[in-house]
Amino acid sequence: MAQRWLLPALLLVGFGLAFAIPEYNLLNKYVQLVMMYVGINIILTVSLNLVNGYMGEFSLAHAGFMAVGAYTAALLTQKVLPVAAYPGLFPLAVLAGGLMAAVLGLIVAVPSFKVRGDYLAIITLAFLMIVKSVIENIDTIGGPRGIPGIKKLTTLPWVFFWTVFSIWVVRNFVYSKYGRGVLSIREDEIASDLMSVNTRRVKFLAFMVSSFFAGIAGALFAHLLQFISPRVFDIIKTTDVLIMVYLGGIASIGGSILGATVYTVLLELLRPSTVAAMLAWLPAVVFDPLNEYFIRHLGVWRMVIMPLLLVLVMLYWPRGIMGLREFRWFIPKRDLEAHHRQPAHGGNHGVAHGH
């Protein structure tokens, strides 16, 4: 099959571009920035999908894990690691952020042994609020004022690397016995336990992987925005990620990538400056009134349009764009063949039922 070399080749080209774009300014700075946000949002979405989509819980804690990763990494690059002299130390800080978040993920996993559904949702919400409140009350890390002046260490190649890595790891996890355990917990936890799945271990792992990548994303985010404060990681941030997860579709890596990309890019496209730039070719007679009455006001109205779009998507596509389905390329060949050794039934149109 052509796919065997296609994927590595695409990755190589992607990496090449990720280095070349900032080096030779192939795209303007703004587009580069948006690309990095897309990458970070993909990491957040794919990782949250593990708990909310594959496992079927409703975690609201993602922004909390993100905050832990962001603060850990930012404090390391600000105060501990000599990144100015050795920029190569930055990945260590990011990794530390991820690990710290993973440790906290383990703590959040414990209540999930006992509590499920809406009650677990509340516990994760409480966790998020506690993290925020703790940060606000520690003055040495800036308290409510946050940390300003973080070095801009997040670059396009790093975002590209971590995005690919998170997708790869989450995909590997999903197509392993632990990932199938996660799915079986969503379907029927008692039956899962009775089919020998160690549900506690599986939950530990799922929360750990999920929060690890939330921490990574937080670390990258901090060194891109160059400023963090507890307010950056509030419930609204979690809501953003939730929207991307369910817009793209639950239990789907391809869906998460789509959801994060569509949502992020659309929000940027609706910016007045972007729309004005895109329509600048119009003659002034048309453009000026358009700008006067419509484009200039988009700054406020785009946040009205976006949730409306979300509601419309949900009404016509209740499972999201790719709910419970997966692009063929994310499914290991072994799994695909095992499912379809016999002639496949029904049209698949390049999209296969993953599970």
Partner 1 sequence: MSEGIVYWLQQTLNALQLGSIYALIALGYTMVYGILTMINFAHGDVFMIGAFFCFLAAVYLGLPFAPTLLLTMLGAALLGVAIERLAYKPLRHAPRVSAIITALGVGIFLENFTLALAPYPKNIPALLENITWDLGGVSLSSLQVIIILLSLGLMFVLDYVVHRTPVGMAMRAISWDKTFVPLMGVPLDLIISITFAIGAGLAGAAGTMYALAYPVIDPYMGIMVGWKAFISAVVGGIGNIRGAMIGAFILGGVEIMVTAFFPSTYRDFVAFTLLMLLILVRPYGILGKPRTQKV
Partner 2 sequence: MALLTATRVRHYFGGLCAVSDFNLDLQPGELVGIIGPNGAGKTTVFNLITGVYRASEGSIRLRDTELVGKTPHQITALRVGRTFQNIRLFRDLSVLDNVRIAHYAQVRYSPLEALLHLGRYRQEEQRIIENSRRLLSIFKLEHLAGEIAKNLPYGSQRRLEIARALAIGPELLLLDEPAAGMNPNEIDQLMEFIQWIRREFQLTILLIEHQMKLVMGICERIKVLDFGETLAEGPPEAIQNDPKVLEAYLGEEPVG
Residues that bind partner 1 (CB under 8 A): 52, 58, 111, 114-115, 118-119, 121-123, 125-127, 129-130, 132-134, 136-137, 144, 190, 235-236, 239, 242-243, 246, 250, 297, 300-301, 303-304, 306-308, 310-311, 314-315, 318-319
CB 143 within 8 A of CB 137: yes
How many residues of this chain interact with partner 2, rule: CB under 8 A? Answer: 37
The only residue of 25, 133, 137, 176 in contact with partner 2, by rule CB under 8 A: 176
CB 163 within 8 A of CB 42: yes
Nearer to partner 1, 123 or 182 (CB): 123
Whats the size of the chain, residue-wise?
355
H/E stretch holding 352 reads strand 351-352
Q: Does 169 bind partner 2 (CB under 8 A)?
A: yes
Nearest CA to 241 out of 37, 78, 94, 93 is that of 37
Which distant-in-sequence residues (6+ apart) come within 8 Å of 139 by Cβ? none
Name which of partner 2, partner 1, none residue 246 binds, using a CB cut-off of 5 to 8 Å depending on partner kind: partner 1
Distance, CA of 338 to CA of 194 (rounded, Å): 24
Name which of partner 1, partner 2, none residue 345 binds, using a CB cut-off of 5 to 8 Å depending on partner kind: partner 2
The only residue of 10, 107, 195, 303 in contact with partner 2, by rule CB under 8 A: 195
Token pair for residue 222?
Answer: 């901090």
Instruction: Report CA dihedral (104, 107, 113, 117) to the nearest 10 degrees.
Output: -50
Distance, CA of 66 to CA of 48 (rounded, Å): 11
User: Which stretch, 28-36, 37-45, 272-280, 341-349, contacts partner 2 (CB under 8 A)?
Assistant: 341-349
Name which of partner 2, partner 1, none residue 334 binds, using a CB cut-off of 5 to 8 Å depending on partner kind: partner 2
Q: Does 102 bind partner 2 (CB under 8 A)?
A: no
Question: DSSP secondary structure string, 95-147?
Answer: HHHHHHHHHHHHHHHTHHHH--HHHHHHHHHHHHHHHHHHHHH-GGGTGGG-B
Q: Does 124 bind partner 2 (CB under 8 A)?
A: no
Nearest CA to 228 out of 70, 59, 23 is that of 70
Residues 306-325 that bind partner 2 (CB under 8 A): 324
Q: How far is the CB of 15 from partner 1 (least distance, A)?
A: 34
Nearer to partner 2, 166 or 261 (CB): 166
Give contact residues for partner 2 (rule: CB under 8 A).
169, 172-173, 176-181, 183-184, 187-188, 190-199, 205, 209, 324, 332, 334, 338-342, 344-345, 353, 355
